[in-house]
Amino acid sequence: MGMSLYSYLKPVLFSLDPETAHGLVFRVVGQVSRWSAISALQRALFTYDHPVLRCDLLGHTLPNPVGLAAGFDKDGLLAAPLLGLGFGLAEFGGVTPRPQPGNARPRIFRLSEDEALINRMGFNNRGAAHLAERLALLPASEALIGVNLGKNLDTPLERASADFIEGLRSLHDRADYMTINVSSPNTPGLRSLQRRDSLQRTLEPLCAERDALARRSGKRIPLLVKLAPDLARGEMEALVEVAIACGVDGLIATNTAVSRDGLRSPLCGEEGGLSGRPIFARTLAVVSALYRLTAARLPIIGVGGIFSAEDVYALVRAGASAVQIYTALIYRGPGLVREIKKGLVNLLQRDGFTSVTQAVGTAAADASSSDIAEKDI
């Protein structure tokens, strides 16, 4: 499916309820991706690599910094064909220890005028053990595989750490990193885990378990914390302090937003998390702020409202070591990954960078530009 094919397919998919469209794509791609001719065709259509795109993240060298964001494939049902789109990293999940149905439908809404989505899925997923089975089927790939961990709805907040630990144990052998999701707006109270004391109570036992597993197995799984875009400056400072003190390995900024500034779509009043174009400015501001607050001691993955190579380049220059995309894939189709990679090569070469990693944080050196980016924090 190149960009042109998607332009025919999109009106059909957009005529359906968003979750029905997602399910249909999953069923069709799930079937046809079994045929080897299709995966060969897919490689021919989507493969694009360039040495300038190689980048360092969490002790690995990735073929490129463009990632699939969590929530697109919560149960790892299309892991192989999704990697075939040319992502340098892919995050599956969010999963909880036990399967759960999530909220009642409809629970995802298209805000087409804003190129945005609102979702209140509520961690619908088949459970951590099922995802582990799915990922076990994945052929070895150059891309970094992440898993996004949540807590079950009926697990009390004080016991959130136990759920994350269970997820970590179940998926330890199947992931290159794991993300602790304390920022989904769709599990009541979850975001309060970002506050200093709760965060410390959640992260300390988790990092201890990571280290114990590493001693036993010889494999150390980096743990990343995923943040909300709606944090105030002081909350961000506290979070960075605790993350570093507990030994967290990186940050993902950001999850969906609860704010609804400047939207035009009739569905903008729906409850849930906002993603897509309208949150990009916020993502850029948060990544800039985090890069400065961490003094580059923790790698940052930038996510939220990325639609173009220019968006990726701005986030990298603000301090992101890699990026992830969800909503733009719905609006632009699967060819977007290749388009962004090509554009990014041009931007990096134009400015004389020989690798993505070389460009990371270079906007922070120019204080005036990051002051502009951070003005509304």
Q: Which is nearer to ligand FMN, 52 or 272 (CB)?
A: 272
Contact 195, 157 (CB under 8 A): no
Using Cβ positions, the residue closest to ligand FMN within the complex turns out to be 71
| H-helix or E-strand spanning residue 24 | helix 18-32
Which region, left, alpha or beta, applies to residue 140 given φ > 0 means left and ψ of -120 to 50 means alpha?
Answer: beta
Indicate the DSSP class of residue 123.
-
Q: Which is nearer to ligand FMN, 155 or 181 (CB)?
A: 181
**DSSP string over 178-232:** EEEE---TTSTTGGGGGSHHHHHHHHHHHHHHHHHHHHHHS----EEEEE-TT--
Helix/strand/coil for 65? coil
Shortest distance (Å) from residue 81 CB to ligand FMN = 19
Burial of 22 per CB tally in 10 Å (0-12, 13-18, 19+):
middle
Q: Which residues bind ligand FMN (CB under 6 A)?
A: 69-71, 74, 93-94, 108, 117, 119, 121, 148, 181, 184, 226, 255-256, 275-276, 279, 303-306, 325-328
**DSSP string over 328-374:** HHHHH-TTHHHHHHHHHHHHHHHTT-SSHHHHTTTTTTSHHHHHHHT
Apex 231 CA angle, 227 and 233, nearest 5: 120
How many beta carbons lie within 10 A of that of residue 349, not counting itself? 12
Q: Which is nearer to ligand FMN, 170 or 255 (CB)?
A: 255
Shortest distance (Å) from residue 32 CB to ligand FMN = 23
Active-site residue (options: 184, 198, 275, 321):
184
Q: Which is nearer to ligand FMN, 42 or 119 (CB)?
A: 119
Shortest distance (Å) from residue 254 CB to ligand FMN = 6
Shortest distance (Å) from residue 217 CB to ligand FMN = 25
Shortest distance (Å) from residue 51 CB to ligand FMN = 26
Q: Which residues fall within 8 angstroms of residue 315, CB to CB, at 6 or more apart?
A: 283, 284, 287, 302, 306, 323
Q: Which is nearer to ligand FMN, 168 or 306 (CB)?
A: 306
Q: Which is nearer to ligand FMN, 86 or 94 (CB)?
A: 94
The contacts found for 337-340 with CB under 8 angstroms, 24 or more apart, are: 337/46, 337/66, 337/85, 337/86, 337/87, 338/46, 338/47, 338/48, 338/85, 338/86, 339/3, 339/309, 340/66, 340/306, 340/308, 340/309, 340/312
184 catalytic per annotation: yes
Q: Which is nearer to ligand FMN, 52 or 170 (CB)?
A: 170
Whether residue 262 has a cis bond before it, omega within 30° of 0 = no
Residue bearing tokens 């029905």 = 20
Question: For residue 303, what are the β-bridge partners?
Answer: 324
Shortest distance (Å) from residue 113 CB to ligand FMN = 16
Phi, psi values for residue 194, rounded to 5°: -80, -10
Shortest distance (Å) from residue 40 CB to ligand FMN = 29
Q: Which is nearer to ligand FMN, 73 or 209 (CB)?
A: 73
Shortest distance (Å) from residue 183 CB to ligand FMN = 7
Catalytic residues, by residue number, are: 184
